[in-house]
Structure 1
């Protein structure tokens, strides 16, 4: 019993490369028929028809497949020995489409090995199966390849038909979303064996000039298998126009339907332009025994092979004796020539992708038949080959799953497309036109850990144009970190200028569309290409400035304490008693506290220190200045009270001084109390004042209250200096009025210079300015008022007596 499998193929004597498709079909059927466990009692056979690339011939050949060939009666079969089971083909997508128009009516299984997405042209549930993976997988792989090598400015060369148009419509938005731009999109006319050479040359010259003029070094070619013939025309033009490496270099990216094919008259043409191309191909392996099968193929021993003589003559450029030919010149064929000696464009001994699809298609039909006959349905119904209906095999074809002899699993998805991936090969040509495919990557949708795309750059041989360096294909050079892209008006988004990032922004990668700000805890580097962590800044005891200020505060506090101790020790002496002893003690204690309160400003700001430092400083200084004001007022009133009949005698005394100190101090304390109640100081972080630092500080809460405190101290100081200035020439044994005047001038000078210095400083230096002002003004009061008295008490005790005071007053 014989079953017929028909291979629909566009076979012509000059396309020697396609002869492998026929040999693969023969090899697969031979393996199945010789396997007793595969289809016992069933012998597979085949017929081969040519479509001649025309719809009329395709429809005619399809009708011959279905019905009795010599009767031409539709819907009648007279020969049960030649029973049609399935159709394999065709290589050209449009041919497959025409075939399906007829085969779908009868639900005849059609296994298509063209990678073109013909299934999308038809409604769901139709009776064909695609022996190639989904086109979307190939498109995603091409995009991954382009992005891997950063080829974002590419050209597209495609066929001028509906499949070329659909390819452009599909990849344009996909590639654009991935950041790819198109330098040009050129369409070539559909190439057939009967294409006119003059037309091909004219169109090739036009496209060649476009390729050379473009800045794109990467060109994606999408067309049917024979389109490679057109690429050889471009290579021919490139050779004869002497395009050197300094002028133009192209790396070709070829889709899976394009096989390296040459026609007879291109035998001597240079193929250098395609050297180094990266080709997507259907994943394939050599089945066991295939190489030996090809080596044993000889024209004198190939019984029933109607193609081998034509193939042999065109492939080897020879002629068999007694065989008439008008196109062959050269030596006679011996029949012992070796297939492995042929150049790759004419024949390959390794199984190519299309042949591998045919091999798997034959086995898919065989396994479906085996499952169908061994199923319960077949056993119950006594299923026989001659009463088998076409539609019955679809259920088993859809569910077929097997491992072929090459070790690959073959199965279909729910859309009838092969569950597989693509290989990425590097085409390498030698000077003698020998051809090698080197697998450099793959696109495997079932890759481990989601690794769908993989590429081995080190295995790729680039064209000599690129001096073995990785090709470069961009419209504009990459913008370095620190720069951003600015698209040129009217040009694609891949063409841009590089502009420096604005102040305060960075870009950390090449070709950033926009610059970004650093986080609050970092700042832009000098080149604006990274963020540098900010330093935490506050006036610390561990740094020299903090240590110096703290040392001066403690040293001044010690001096003040010694002065206070000296005055208390000599409290009974005339010089201490003569200047209101209690007021002097109060002033010394307040100065001591002034020195010590400056320590609240040093160290990391805390909640308590932020609350206390400005208020404590304001109250203590108000007490000190009030004491100075009280001393000055006492001196003035004491002199005026000595005049005869003066009514001021009742005001002179201890109570007046105490009243001045208490009233002035309590008023400042009231201001500070309102400050703490309404808007108290708090811990804060300043990230704006200093670019490189994060400043830990005390926020004053209300600047109004802060300046009210300072203003009130200044008001007291101005009154004190005014009164002291009026009393500077009053007779006094120790000239205390002059000393007070000078001390208040120092005090006012320090705080007048404080205001601009404070406002112009930032961070810890602002705190340091305030500490310095506190220490300097306190030291001025201590030194100017108490230094002369300490001189007499410690160094000149003989002057510290009543007689000397009276004498000096006189």
Structure 2
């Protein structure tokens, strides 16, 4: 009638999980079989709970004052499971009162234990402990029977005689003839006293009697059915004969088919196919109320467990009274829970419950406690400071709201206005010798390309879009190619003009604007062809760089083909280098052709800017990479404007007396 230990162990596991106790110790007392010890230990560990120690006690060790209490002192487990038989709990743990400072939560596996009444010091130690006890149902008439029983009614019952000896300290006439009973300190009693008159008698604990009652009642039902079947057609004498011939083994099959409901508790009583009766455990809390005399412990029911629903343990947390040392539900873990933002890192020990909490790596989060691994954020997101949630990364690009973007935009506008001003001056003074002597068509073409070069900087500022990514490098490359081609054409024009003045020269027919314009057109068309191949094969596109900066993603234009980009830059570098070499070779021509000196300086500035641009461009990221390219465009364009046109504007505006043919030819 008592469920097997397997159900009790299931209830124990659910209790440990309910309170989150993953670090426990076990005391076995007087267990003869190692199988039961291994069964309980393996069951606990297989459910993710670690057993710090499993210590076996026996009475001989306790009498030698073995250091089993040292085990309690050393352990960090706050919950200790005690697996003991009913009759030995007060025996084997007698010395625990000397170690009352070892505050622990004791879980007692004492399935058939009666109401606990401890000796001095016991109740203090077990105050607040938990125990699983077999449920005890009310038995109709049992309490009245128990309280009215006495030696006078049952003179041959030895249990009643021993109770009278203990409670009333007297011997009844029925005990007077028993050997060893006579004692000078014992009085005489009539034997008709009842236990109802004993004020110290505690309320009856019906846990054990209830199981006995069910067993007897079940057997009585089986006997009744069996005898009823045998005598249904027989005479009374036949019934007496059958009773004499009845053997216990004949009841085996019948007991499995008996099924009835208890009249008091409405509980169904039967034996299943495994030969077990369904039962129920009470989860009890052993409490010493304030003011109670030493040794008294109240057993409070705080939960229940039924073998019919073995996966459901009912616990009433609010009804549990822990030891006064604990101000809240005790915690028994080897390692504290890892808070969100951290993950478990197993230690090199045998216990899986022992671990360290380490922060999640960059780009990872943990949003619950005790996570084994952290979760990686998507590429466009990043963990918050606590690494508990993923938040959107800050998008970075060179915007007009950025002071750097505003500064570069302002310089671009001022520079383009300066070029337009120079252009207006040249148009106004287009008939003066200074303007005429410098190939007006090339000068105007160069000024127009410089204006567009300054303005193309606006394609680099602002949020990168598909259109701006396609146009920015192509526009910049073609404009600068036109500018450098115009400078190269100017240089070639100087060389042709100088050689055409020599007697017998055959290149007089090349003097004029036709050669220079064809050179500009040819050089520019070649750059246009490179850009078209680039746009067709692998065009630039908006892209996010999520790896360069922590917590940021850079919105930039992916150049598509890096080789095509550097081909455009390299072609411009080739033209500028060629212009520089030619201008340098003719820098010492007569004063009437001194523009070669200005071109030499302009190409020196231009080449210096773009040679330094490449390492600077490769060493920067994000908006600063774009700013470096804009600076190179502005600086190289300003170099061409300042070295070629500003000196001429200075003569036109401030020294008009030098703007004469005589001064220009050096015949003054």
| TM-score bracket, shorter-length normalisation | 0.7 to 0.9
> Would you say 1:184 and 2:43 are equivalent positions?
no
Residue correspondence of structure 1 range 379-390 to structure 2 within 5 A: 390=251
> Would you say 1:615 and 2:469 are equivalent positions?
no
> Would you say 1:652 and 2:522 are equivalent positions?
no
Q: Report the counterpart of residue 131 of structure 2 in structure 1.
A: 279
| Residue in structure 1 matching 2:299, options 437, 446, 449 | 437
- 1:482/1:527 contact within 8 Å kept: no
Residue correspondence of structure 1 range 655-674 to structure 2 within 5 A: 655-674=514-533
Q: Report the counterpart of residue 452 of structure 1 in structure 2.
A: 312
Q: Secondary structure at the match of 1:432?
A: coil
| Residue in structure 2 matching 1:210, options 71, 75, 83 | 71
Using the size of structure 2 for normalisation, the TM-score is: 0.80
Residue correspondence of structure 1 range 356-435 to structure 2 within 5 A: 356-358=210-212, 390=251, 393-394=254-255, 396-397=257-258, 400=259, 402=261, 405-406=264-265, 415=274, 422-430=281-289, 431-435=293-297
Residue correspondence of structure 1 range 304-323 to structure 2 within 5 A: 306=157, 309-310=160-161, 312-313=163-164, 316=167, 318-322=169-173, 323=175
Deviation at 1:564, TM superposition (A): 4.0
Deviation at 1:746, TM superposition (A): 3.1
- 2:30/2:56 contact within 8 Å kept: yes
Q: Report the counterpart of residue 243 of structure 1 in structure 2.
A: 99
Change in CA separation of 1:438 and 1:697 when aligned onto 2, cut-off 3 Å: farther
Q: Secondary structure at the match of 2:496?
A: helix
Q: Secondary structure at the match of 1:278?
A: strand
- 2:365/2:383 contact within 8 Å kept: yes
Q: What do residues 508-534 of structure 1 show as CA deviations (whole Å, max 9, x unaligned)?
A: 666555566444344456676765542
RMSD value, Cα: 4.5
Change in CA separation of 1:412 and 1:523 when aligned onto 2, cut-off 3 Å: farther
Q: Report the counterpart of residue 691 of structure 1 in structure 2.
A: 550
Q: Report the counterpart of residue 31 of structure 1 in structure 2.
A: none
- 2:115/2:205 contact within 8 Å kept: no
- 1:371/1:396 contact within 8 Å kept: no
Q: Which whole-Å CA distance do the structure 1 matches of 2:22 and 2:660 have between them?
A: 102
Change in CA separation of 1:728 and 1:365 when aligned onto 2, cut-off 3 Å: farther
Q: Report the counterpart of residue 349 of structure 1 in structure 2.
A: 204
Q: What do residues 78-99 of structure 1 show as CA deviations (whole Å, max 9, x unaligned)?
A: xxxxxxxxxxxxxxxxxxxxxx
| Residue in structure 2 matching 1:252, options 82, 103, 106 | 106
| Residue in structure 1 matching 2:4, options 111, 116, 119 | 116
Q: Secondary structure at the match of 1:675?
A: helix
Deviation at 1:367, TM superposition (A): 8.3
Q: Which whole-Å CA distance do the structure 2 matches of 1:383 and 1:502 have between them?
A: 90
- 1:294/1:349 contact within 8 Å kept: no
- 2:22/2:333 contact within 8 Å kept: yes
- 1:223/1:257 contact within 8 Å kept: no
Q: Secondary structure at the match of 1:698?
A: strand
Q: Which whole-Å CA distance do the structure 1 matches of 2:510 and 2:233 have between them?
A: 137
Q: What do residues 443-465 of structure 1 show as CA deviations (whole Å, max 9, x unaligned)?
A: 56888xx993454544433334x
Deviation at 1:224, TM superposition (A): 3.5
Deviation at 1:328, TM superposition (A): 11
Q: Which moved more, 1:588-597 or 1:527-536?
A: 527-536
Q: Which whole-Å CA distance do the structure 1 matches of 2:638 and 2:235 have between them?
A: 119
Q: What do residues 621-678 of structure 1 show as CA deviations (whole Å, max 9, x unaligned)?
A: 2222222222233234323433334444333321222232222222222332333333
Gaps of 5+ in 1: 1-111, 118-134, 190-197
Deviation at 1:565, TM superposition (A): 4.9
- 2:494/2:593 contact within 8 Å kept: no
| Residue in structure 2 matching 1:145, options 15, 18, 23 | 15
| Residue in structure 1 matching 2:347, options 487, 502, 507 | 487
Q: What do residues 753-789 of structure 1 show as CA deviations (whole Å, max 9, x unaligned)?
A: 3222222222232223223322332333334433344
Q: Report the counterpart of residue 62 of structure 1 in structure 2.
A: none
Deviation at 1:156, TM superposition (A): 1.5
Q: Which whole-Å CA distance do the structure 2 matches of 1:428 and 1:314 have between them?
A: 30
- 1:313/1:328 contact within 8 Å kept: no
- 2:285/2:321 contact within 8 Å kept: yes
Deviation at 1:267, TM superposition (A): 4.5
- 1:535/1:694 contact within 8 Å kept: yes
Deviation at 1:220, TM superposition (A): 1.4
- 1:560/1:591 contact within 8 Å kept: yes
Gaps of 5+ in 2: none
> Would you say 1:535 and 2:387 are equivalent positions?
no
Number of residues paired by the alignment? 647
Q: Which whole-Å CA distance do the structure 2 matches of 1:808 and 1:294 have between them?
A: 147
Q: Which whole-Å CA distance do the structure 2 matches of 1:371 and 1:601 have between them?
A: 101
Change in CA separation of 1:725 and 1:391 when aligned onto 2, cut-off 3 Å: same
Q: What do residues 159-183 of structure 1 show as CA deviations (whole Å, max 9, x unaligned)?
A: 5557x64444444444334332222
Using the size of structure 1 for normalisation, the TM-score is: 0.67
Q: What do residues 401-442 of structure 1 show as CA deviations (whole Å, max 9, x unaligned)?
A: 757644666677765656666443221124522222233444
Deviation at 1:254, TM superposition (A): 2.1
| Residue in structure 1 matching 2:447, options 580, 585, 588 | 588
Q: Report the counterpart of residue 462 of structure 1 in structure 2.
A: 322
Q: What do residues 582-639 of structure 1 show as CA deviations (whole Å, max 9, x unaligned)?
A: 2223222322332333333334433333333323322222222222222233234323
Q: Secondary structure at the match of 1:717?
A: helix
Q: Secondary structure at the match of 2:150?
A: coil
Q: What do residues 470-518 of structure 1 show as CA deviations (whole Å, max 9, x unaligned)?
A: 43434455566546434235x4333455666666666666655556644
- 2:151/2:157 contact within 8 Å kept: no
Q: Secondary structure at the match of 1:494?
A: coil
Q: What do residues 138-174 of structure 1 show as CA deviations (whole Å, max 9, x unaligned)?
A: 4344334334444323212235557x64444444444
Residue correspondence of structure 1 range 455-604 to structure 2 within 5 A: 455-464=315-324, 466-476=325-335, 482=342, 484-489=344-349, 491-496=350-355, 513=372, 517-523=376-382, 533-565=392-424, 567-568=426-427, 571-604=430-463
Q: Which whole-Å CA distance do the structure 2 matches of 1:749 and 1:178 have between them?
A: 73
Q: Which whole-Å CA distance do the structure 2 matches of 1:169 and 1:418 have between them?
A: 26
Q: Which whole-Å CA distance do the structure 2 matches of 1:252 and 1:727 have between them?
A: 104
Q: Secondary structure at the match of 2:86?
A: coil
Deviation at 1:214, TM superposition (A): 3.0
